Structure 1
C-alpha cells in the first residue's frame, strides 16, 4: 500500500473542484499584451539583429492564454503574424536572404504556439463548462487526499453539510463530518485502494449537529503511473428515505400483530383444546399416582411413572402457553436457524382442532432431508397457518370434493419451496393479480390483510410468494425462502 506521505493532491484539484477560469479580458493583461507586442514589433522592424526576434510573439500568446477566449487567441495569433510580416517587409526588400528564413521560423513558431494555445483553451473551456455543471448538482461532491484532507467541496456539499468551501478545505473529512460506518473506515479505504471503487451507507453530522444517513460512492483517482492521488466522493442524503422505510416496517409489524390476534380469535377452539389436553392428562396421572401411593403397600414405581407423565404434560402445556404468548407479543423479529419441516409441524399442531373441525385431511410431502432456513419462527408459522386456514375455509364452499390439503416442501436451486394446495372452489383468474393486495378478500367477513401480511413477511425473509388459482379447481399457494447450504455449528 502506498504511504500517505508519498501521495499529494493532484494538480487540477489543488484550487478546488468548482474554481473556474475568469475569461473576461482584464485591462491589465490587454495593456501588457499590447506593450509587449509593440516592443517586439519595434525591435524587429527598426533593428538589424541577426536573430528571429518575432519568435518572441510566442510569449505574447502564452501571456494571453489565461484571460483571452479561444477566438481571442486566434485573432491575437493572426495579429502577431501580420506584425511579423509587416516588420520584415518594412526593413527588407529581398526575399532571398537570411532574414527571410528567420521570418519563416518565427511564423512557424507563432502558428504552432497559436494552434496549441487555441486547442488548450478550447479543452479548458469544455472542462470548465463541465465543472460548472458539476458544481450545480444537488449531490455533495467532495474531493480528498488519501489521508482525508479536503481539497474540493462543491455547492451541493455546502448545502448538505453547512460548511462553505473555504471553511471545509484542508480539514480532515472524517473529523469534520464525524463519519461513522458499520464497516471500519480503514477497511473501506483498503477496499477502495484494491478495487478503485466503494459504495455504502455512512452516518455523518452536519454543521448544525443534525445526523444524516448518507449513500456515498467513492472513486479513486490515480496518476499516469497508477499511484493513488485522491478520493472523489459523491454523497446523497437518504435520511428521509431510511426513516420512511423504518416507519413502513413498523406499520407492517403492527399490522402483522393485529393479523395474528385476529387469527388467534379464529383459533380459540384449537388453543383451548391444546391447553386442556395436557391439563386433563396431568389431572388423570396425578390421581393415579395418589392411588398408587395410598395402597397398603405403595407401588412407588407406578407412582413415579405417573408423576413423570404429569411432568411431561406440564411441560407440554407450558410450551403451548409460551407459543401463544409469542404470537400475541409485538416484538422485533428474531432470525434463527430453522428446519422448515419443524415450522410446519408446529403450525399444524396449533391447527389440530381446526383441522378436525373442518374434517380436512392434511397430506404432507417432503424430500426426506433437513431443509434449513434463517427466519423468525413466529412469523413463518403465521404465514403457514394463514395459508392453511384459507385453504380449509375454501374447502367449506366446495361440496362434493375431496377435502384434502397437500403440503409439499422441496429444495430448488438455492431456495426452499413450500407449497400448500387445497381442493376448494378456487379463485377466479380476474383476481389473481390482486390476491396479495391489502384489503382484498373473497370472504364475507374477511379483513383482507392476511395474504398481504404473508407477502411482507416472506419478502422480509428474502423470499417470494405467489398463488396459482384455477376457478373451481382449487388453489395452490407457494413461497420460497433462501436455503442455508452450510449449517452453522451450535
Structure 2
C-alpha cells in the first residue's frame, strides 16, 4: 500500500484544494442538491440586499419627519397652554371679586359677556352659591338651550357638574371637568373656580369652554396646514380637528411600508384625558409604491421559482428511481416472509414459481420444484389419481373460490393437511399466462376445530342446566335457533314463547331487510345502523299462562351463519316480586303508623285547638238564650250571632276533616298538586304543635311556583315531621322566646341542570351531633327516649320515591352550631321552567342639598 506524501495531508492543502476534495467526497445526490441550492441562495441574498437598502432610506425619511412633527406639536401644545393659563388668571381675579361681594348679578352678566367677547372659546358662565343655587348664568352661543332637549345628556352633565362642585368645595382649587362629546352639539369642558372669602367657600364659578373654539383659536394655522391636528379624549376619540385613517391593506402587507407619523401630548392645564395629537400627511408613495421595488421583487420571484421548479423535477426523478428500487425489494421480501405457500403454473401445468414459504412447507427446494410436471414430488403416492383429476379441474378453471383440501407429503415423508386456493395469473397486458395457487397448512386449525366442537358440547350442557330460560331467534323470522331445557319445559320447541317474551318486555322491533345486510360491522357483521343504543335491555313481565313473574333480558348478536339474531334470557322472579309487594305493604303501614304517632303526640294540642271553636259556640248559644228569654235581642243581632256560631262550627269541622284526611290510610295517589296549597295545609297542622311549644314560624313561598306530580298526603307528612322535629329541637335547647324561630322556605332552583322545587326547614336549636349525623336516616334509630326511629327514615324514603333527594346540615356562626337545616327537593315536571329572574332597580339621580 503506497504511503501518502506530507504534501497531501489536509493541513497542507490550500482552501481551494480542500473545497475540491470535500466536493468529490459528497454523493451524487447531495452534489445535485447543493448545485441547485447555490443559485437560489445567491438570488435570495441579492433580494435581501435590495430590501435592506430600500428599508434604510425609508426609515431615515420617517425619522426626519418624526422629529419635525414632535417639534410642531409641542409648540402648539405650549400655545394652547399659555392661552388657557392667561384666561384662568383673569377668571380667578373675577372670582375673588365675586367672593368679596363686589359683583352684583347684573354686573356678573355684563362682565361675563365681556369675557365671552374677549375669549371666543368661552361658551357660558354660571354663578353657583354655597348652597348649589344658581345666582346668575350667561350663555353666549345658546349651547345649553340646544342641549336641553336631550334629557340623557342633561343628566350626565348635571351629574358631572355636581361631582366637580363637590370636589372644588373640598380642595378649594380650580378644577377642569372631563371633555364630553355631545350628539348634536359641540364638545364642552367646564372650569370650576372656587369663590373663597377668607378661606370660606362661598360658591363656584362654572366656565364652559368649547373644545372646537380652543382648537380654532389656540392651535397655530401654520401647524394645521402641515399636519392633521386633533384633540382626543381618554378613549382616543376625536373631539375637534382632523384625523388620518391608515390604509389597512397596505399595513397588513408591510407594516413599515408607508406608516403615518403621529405624536400626542396631554393638554395642560385641562388634563382629564384631553390630549393633542398631530399626524403627518403622507406625500411619498413609500417603499411598496416604488416601481423599481416591484420590478426587483418580480424578477427575483421568477428566478427563484424557476430554480425551485428545476430542483423539484430533479428530486422527483431521483425519488421515482429510489421508490422503484424499494418496491422491488419490498415485494421480494414480502414473498419470502409470507407464511402462505405460493405456487405458479403455466397453462400446461408446469411449475414456474414457488416462494420460500412453499419450499419450507413441503421440504423441497426451489430448484427441485420449478419446471416439474405432474406427478409433483409432494404428492403422496396413494393420492396420485385423485390429485391428477384435481389438477385437470384446476387447469380448466373449475375449482370453487372456496378452494380444495388435500394431503401433502413433505420430503421427509411426513403427511399434513393443506388447503389450496386457485386464481388466474394475469400479466401486465391483461393476458392469462397460467394459474396462481396459495397453499395453507390447516393441520393446527383442524385440531382447534375439533377442540371447539368439544367445548361447544360442554357449553351446551351448562346452558341446559341453568335455572333461566334462554332462547335465540333471528329477526324477522319465526325460526328458533336455540332453546335450553327450561325454555322447552315452559314453551315447547316453537318460537311463539320467544316472541311472546319479546312483546311482553316491550323491546322495539328492528327492521331486518336484505338491504341492511350491506351495512355491516367490521368485527361481527352486524347492521350497526339499526341496533339499539343500549347493548342489553331488561324488563319484568307477568305471564298468565305460566302464572309467574319473569325478568326478561334481551340483546342482539350475530349468529354463526352471519344473521342478526335476538337472545332472550328469562329468569323466574316470582318469589322476589312477592317479597317486594310485602315490603311495599309494610312501608304503607309504616307511613300510616307514622302519621298516627304524629297525631297522637299532637293530641293535646289538637284538643286545645278544637276547644276554642267549641267554647265560642257554647258562649254564643248561652248568650243568645239569655237575651231571647229577656227579650233583649233584635233579629239582626240574632242573625249575626248565628253566623259567628256557624263559622266557629265550620272551623271545628275543618280541623277534624283535615286531621282525618291526614291520618287515614289510603293507597298512594300521585296527582298534579299546587305547592302553595300543599304547604298551607301542612303548616295548618304544624302550627298546633308550634303554638304548644311557643315557637314562631317564618315561612316564605315563592310566587308562581309550578305544580308538581306528588302524593300530597305523603309530602305533607314529610313537611309536618320536619316542622315538628324543628320545634322539638328548639324546645329541647331551651332557647329564649326571641330565638324560638323556625323558617320554612319553598322556591324553585336548579340541581344537576334540572329544575326542582326546593323545601327548606331550618331551626335555631342545638343542631345534630356528628355521631348522630352518620346514623340520621337509619331505621329504628332515634335520640328521643320515646322515639321509634322511623320518622326521618320514612321521610327520606317518601322523597326518594318521588325521584327527589333529602339532606341535613348544621348551621354555624363561626365555629358554634346555631341550628340545623333540612332540605329536600321534588323534580319539576315542566323541564323548561326556570326560577323567576330578579328585578333590577334603576338607579336614580339626586342633587345633594
TM-score range, shorter chain: 0.5 to 0.7
Against the structure 1 CA distance between its residues 389 and 172, is the aligned structure 2 distance closer, same or farther, given a 3 Å change threshold?
A: closer
**Superposed displacement of residue 415, structure 1:** 1.3
CA displacement, residues 322-342 of structure 1 (integer Å, 9 cap, x when unaligned): 322233322221112223333
1:151 aligned onto 2:480: yes
Report if aligned partners of 2:537, 2:555 keep a CA contact under 8 Å in 1: yes
The answer (yes or no) to whether the contact 2:474–2:481 under 8 Å persists in 1 is: no
Deviation of the 1:404 alpha carbon: 1.0
Note if contact 1:419-1:476 (Cα within 8 Å) is conserved in structure 2: yes
CA contact (8 A) 2:556 2:564 kept: no
By how many angstroms is 1:435 displaced? 0.7
The answer (yes or no) to whether the contact 1:432–1:469 under 8 Å persists in 2 is: no
Query: In the TM superposition, what is the alpha-carbon distance from 1:301 to its structure 2 partner?
Result: 5.6
SS in 1 for 2:818: coil
Whose RCO is larger (CA < 8 A, sep 6+)? 1
**Distance in structure 2 (CA, Å) of the matches to 1:172 and 1:367:** 55
* Map 1:68-107 → 2, pairs under 5 A: 77-79=407-409
TM-score with structure 1 length normalisation? 0.66
CA deviation after TM superposition for structure 1 residue 292, in Å = 9.4
Contact 1:410–1:417 (8 Å) recurs in 2? yes
Alignment-derived partner of residue 211 in structure 1: 548
Gaps of 5+ in 1: 1-36, 64-72, 86-103
CA distance in 1, matches of 2:461, 2:620: 82
2:455 is the alignment partner of 1:136? no
1:216-227 superposed matches below 5 A: 216-219=553-556
In structure 1, how many angstroms separate the alpha carbons of the residues matched to 2:560 and 2:487?
Answer: 30
Q: Distance in 1 between matches of 2:381 and 2:702?
A: 97
Query: Does structure 2 conserve the Cα–Cα contact (< 8 Å) formed by 1:462 and 1:482?
Result: yes
Alpha-carbon deviation of 1:454?
Answer: 1.0
The residue that corresponds to 2:796 in the other structure is 455
Does the 8 A contact of 2:552 with 2:568 survive in 1? no
For the aligned residue pairs, the C-alpha RMSD in angstroms reads 4.7
Give the corresponding residue for 1:446: 787
Return the alpha-carbon distance in structure 1 between the equivalents of residues 472 and 701 of structure 2: 57
Report the alpha carbon displacement of residue 467 of structure 1 after superposing the two structures with TM. 1.1
Q: Look up the SS of the partner of 2:821 in the other structure.
A: strand
Cα offsets for 1:114-136 (capped at 9, x unmatched): 65x97698589769857964873
Residue in structure 1 matched with residue 678 of structure 2 by the alignment: 343
Counterpart secondary structure, 1:344: helix
Which aligned pairs between 1:30-429 and structure 2 lie closer than 5 A?
40-42=383-385, 51=392, 77-79=407-409, 108=437, 111=439, 129=455, 133=459, 136=462, 138=466, 139-146=468-475, 149-155=478-484, 158-159=485-486, 162-163=489-490, 167-171=492-496, 173-174=498-499, 180=504, 188-189=508-509, 196=532, 199-205=537-543, 209-219=546-556, 230-283=565-618, 306-401=641-736, 402-413=739-750, 414-429=755-770
Structure with higher Rg: it is 2
Q: Which moved more, 1:461-470 or 1:434-443?
A: 461-470
| Residues 372-405 of structure 1: CA deviation (Å, up to 9, x unaligned) | 3222222212211211221111112323551111
Gaps of 5+ in 2: 1-379, 416-433, 513-528, 833-849
Change (3 A) 1:399 1:44: closer
Distance in 2 separating the partners of 1:372 and 1:127? 63
State the distance in 2 between where 1:244 and 1:322 align: 35
Q: Are residues 1:469 and 2:810 paired? A: yes
Give the whole-Å Cα distance in 2 for the aligned partners of 1:417 and 1:125: 64
Conserved in 1, the CA contact under 8 Å of 2:705 and 2:747?
no
Which of 822, 826, 833 is equivalent to 1:481? 826
CA drift of 1:409 comes to 1.5
In the TM superposition, residue 78 of structure 1 has moved relative to its aligned partner by: 3.2
2:238 is matched with which residue?
Answer: none
Structure 1, 293-302 or 252-261: larger mean CA deviation: 293-302
Distance 1:169 1:118, change over 3 A: farther
Whole-angstrom distance in 2 between the partners of 1:476 and 1:142: 54
Q: What TM-score, normalized to structure 2?
A: 0.40
Give the structure with the higher percent helix. 1
Determine the structure 2 residue equivalent to 1:24. Answer: none
Q: Is 1:223–1:229's contact at 8 Å kept on the other side of the alignment? A: no
